[in-house]
Amino acid sequence: MKTLFSATILSIFLTVSCNSEIEPLYKDKNAPVEDRISDLVQRMTFDEKVLQLNQYLAGENTNVNNIGESTKDMPAGIGSLIYFNSDPEVRNLIQKKAMEESRLGIPILFGFDVIHGYRTIYPISLGVAASWNPELLKKACGVAAKEACLSGIDWTFSPMIDVASDPRWGRVAEGYGEDSYTNSVFGVAAVKGYQGESLSDPYSIAACLKHYIGYGRSEGGRDYRYSDISRQSLWETYMPPYHACVKAGAATLMSGFNDISGVPATANHYTLTEVLKKQWQHDGFVVSDWEAVDQLIAQGVAKDRKEAGLKAFKAGVEMDMKDNIYLENFKQLVDEDKLSISEIDDAVSRILRVKFRLGLFDEPYTKVVPESARYLQPQDKKVAEQLVEESIVLLKNEASTLPFSASVKKVALIGPMAKDKENLIGAWPAKGDCKDVESISEGFEKEFGTRIKVSYALGCDFEGDDESGFSEAISIAKKSDIVVVCIGEKNGWSGENATRSTIALPTIQEQLVVNLKKAGKPIVLVLTNGRPLELVRLEPLVDAIVELWQPGVAGGSPLAGILSGRVNPSAKLAITFPLTTGQIPTYYNMRQCARPFSKMGDYQDISTEPLYWFGHGLSYTTYQYGTAKLSASQITREQKLTVDVTVSNTGKMDGKETVLWYISDPACSISRPIKELKFFEKKEIKAGEKTVYTFEIDPLKDLSYPDETGKYFLEQGDFYVHVGDQKLKFELIK
């Protein structure tokens, strides 16, 4: 009894004495996140709340399209910063100010464009998609997250999952090609790579899906423009990648610069609130793109900054990137009863939710490790190198020009890209450094050593009309067994604000190849670019074409490995290469046409066929597809149907083959695409061996289509499954 009495007294004493220092609930890392959020929000003043909705800039910004000054006298309570610096100690100093000088100690969220790597730069997304290896992308995004995290970044503005089929638009480089399903699969892989198992893992960073939504449909390929998208196409083509990535847990989204059929993406209540927040129940937040709130004025839907802010916020944009419009106008908007505190509380809660989930309240500072331990670790470079190997597409290989035969002893390496580093790194290189890039010529040296003599000539520059280097290039070519000509796009020619009226390379580069032809040697054309190119004049001049894309830091060796035969190419295009610019738009999943017979409606002056379709890519081995087999010829909507195909590697080299499975619906209430990719699988098949690929058709997922409200329909009748050049019919009954 005595003991019990003393214990009670002691506990009362402890409670009383601790009460004065009791930590607020939001600081208790063991409390549920939602409780922590409500506790914090109810302690915040109006000004503190509005500060959370703003993003400022810190550090030197080198992006020419998005120029902005580092914020001076930054308020300690700011919600987020774009952190252009890469020093964790600077971040920690800024964060210290937030933690110690803001009244409630709310950590800042540091964001940055980590697009295809942070310092270990891997290929641009259009190249990555050609690998058909999302697992490898997931690993690469894990590497990027770790490097970024150790440099003070909590949040990347990636992945870009804008389905895009107009190669004049420079940003095709940043997405996973022209197909919706491909963007979904790679988008999910990127989200999982960045965010890890949990956002609170030590090296996880938050993903940001962009640019929500329809930006890839920019009219004429012109950037920052109108995109005419019917609601049905919005649901059929553009929504699925976002929905898949939201389901995969993507923490945030960025609203696009585009105008979706009259309602800009940044003021679009339907897409941002009705769909994203209500239907999909996304509980993270949306950040505007750079000055996209202010640009609502230029787009003609707001008369001034105040109205722009009101429209963006009401539509569902919680964070204002750089504009400062929310901060300037929200007090007045609330006083005028145009905005309510509960709306602001909801937005603040969404931002705090991401911060809590990232563990920023509990561990606001970045661990400081030396740069040498942070970047370009051998195992991380290996991932980048593997991604390059798997993303290089062998587009043409006449008479088995590649790999080099044993008789190749002298190679002429020619062209402005052969020794280049700056352009190999690609658009949006984050903190990538050209000095880390392995050039094509360095890759050749490593691969061929003294076994093959490599002679180099520049030939010409990327543009201009100086042909003075042609004669040296021709003379070197004449003395060689084979010519490798490396041309392409400078990295600023693709990416943001990099629209081109033609997708042909400048005439000087084409002329270089025309002249090299005079040497009478086999020519291998190596292309470095961020978009499909018009190759109609070049293709007939060369024996082989290798698409290297913009490979990042590790391009040289994988390319040399492909040319030597050490690596068997396995990539296939995720975007169609039109024959000429005039064919745009051309994409594999166009709708069926009224007169598909006798070439009716085709171009009269050129072929209507593109040069290389989506899915095109050669290998050094041969794959033979056996007869595909369906598990049944009829199914009901509740049943699943499996299709198998046995693929044999009938050549002499081990290889990796990706089987692409498509569905088509010949008669439906609304017209359907010629075919739609529904599943893909990449597997290694040793020479002489075979393996079975299986696609399990789930009617609800694979045979249905959405209407203009996003409601999915499943109609009875015939369908086809396409694999290789086979097309198998089955019926959906009931």
Give yes or no for residue 294 binding ligand NOJ (CB under 6 A). no
Q: C-beta of 80: minimal distance to ligand NOJ in Å?
A: 12
Q: Where is 372: in which H helix or E strand?
A: helix 371-374
Q: C-beta of 422: minimal distance to ligand NOJ in Å?
A: 20
From 154, 496, 534, 657, residue interacting with ligand NOJ (rule: CB under 6 A): 496
Distance CA 131, CA 657 (A): 10
Of the pair 210, 421, the CB lying nearest ligand NOJ is at 210
Residues in 654-713 at the binding interface with ligand NOJ, rule: CB under 6 A: none
Give yes or no for residue 289 binding ligand NOJ (CB under 6 A). yes
Distance CA 419, CA 690 (A): 40
Give yes or no for residue 639 binding ligand NOJ (CB under 6 A). no
Distance CA 297, CA 306 (A): 10
Q: Which of 107, 66, 455, 100 is nearest to 254 (CA)?
A: 66
The binding track of 356-385 with respect to ligand NOJ, each residue x by CB under 6 A or -, is: ------------------------------
Other CB atoms within a 10 A radius of the CB of residue 591 amount to 10
Q: Are 646 and 626 in contact (CB under 8 A)?
A: yes
Of the pair 496, 547, the CB lying nearest ligand NOJ is at 496
Residues in 140-159 at the binding interface with ligand NOJ, rule: CB under 6 A: 157
From 48, 113, 385, 547, residue interacting with ligand NOJ (rule: CB under 6 A): 113
Other CB atoms within a 10 A radius of the CB of residue 508 amount to 20
Give yes or no for residue 320 binding ligand NOJ (CB under 6 A). no
Structure tokens at 73: 């006298």
Q: C-beta of 611: minimal distance to ligand NOJ in Å?
A: 30
Q: Which of 267, 254, 215, 271 is nearest to 111 (CA)?
A: 254
Q: Which of 420, 415, 421, 512 is nearest to 455 (CA)?
A: 415
Give yes or no for residue 497 binding ligand NOJ (CB under 6 A). no
Query: Annotated active-site positions, please?
Result: 289
Under DSSP, the state recorded for 223 is T
Residues in 58-87 at the binding interface with ligand NOJ, rule: CB under 6 A: 63, 66
Q: Which of 284, 305, 365, 389 is nearest to 107 (CA)?
A: 365
For 32-53, what is the HEC assignment?
CHHHHHHHHHHHCCHHHHHHHC
Q: Are 534 and 502 in contact (CB under 8 A)?
A: yes
Q: Are 238 and 209 in contact (CB under 8 A)?
A: no
Give yes or no for residue 323 binding ligand NOJ (CB under 6 A). no
Of the pair 292, 567, the CB lying nearest ligand NOJ is at 292
Of the pair 509, 550, the CB lying nearest ligand NOJ is at 550
Number of residues that bind ligand NOJ (CB under 6 A): 8
Q: Are 550 and 528 in contact (CB under 8 A)?
A: yes
Structure tokens at 484: 């490798």
Q: C-beta of 67: minimal distance to ligand NOJ in Å?
A: 11
Give yes or no for residue 291 binding ligand NOJ (CB under 6 A). no
Q: Which of 284, 361, 313 is nearest to 39 (CA)?
A: 361
Q: C-beta of 490: minimal distance to ligand NOJ in Å?
A: 19
Whether the bond into 213 is cis, omega within 30 of 0: yes
Q: C-beta of 320: minimal distance to ligand NOJ in Å?
A: 13
Closest CB to ligand NOJ: residue number: 157
Q: C-beta of 63: minimal distance to ligand NOJ in Å?
A: 6
Q: C-beta of 105: minimal distance to ligand NOJ in Å?
A: 27
Q: Are strands 410-414 and 320-321 parallel, antiparallel or unpaired?
A: unpaired
From 155, 242, 285, 290, residue interacting with ligand NOJ (rule: CB under 6 A): 290
Residues in 184-213 at the binding interface with ligand NOJ, rule: CB under 6 A: 210
The binding track of 245-284 with respect to ligand NOJ, each residue x by CB under 6 A or -, is: ----------------------------------------
Binding site for ligand NOJ (CB under 6 A): 63, 66, 113, 157, 210, 289-290, 496
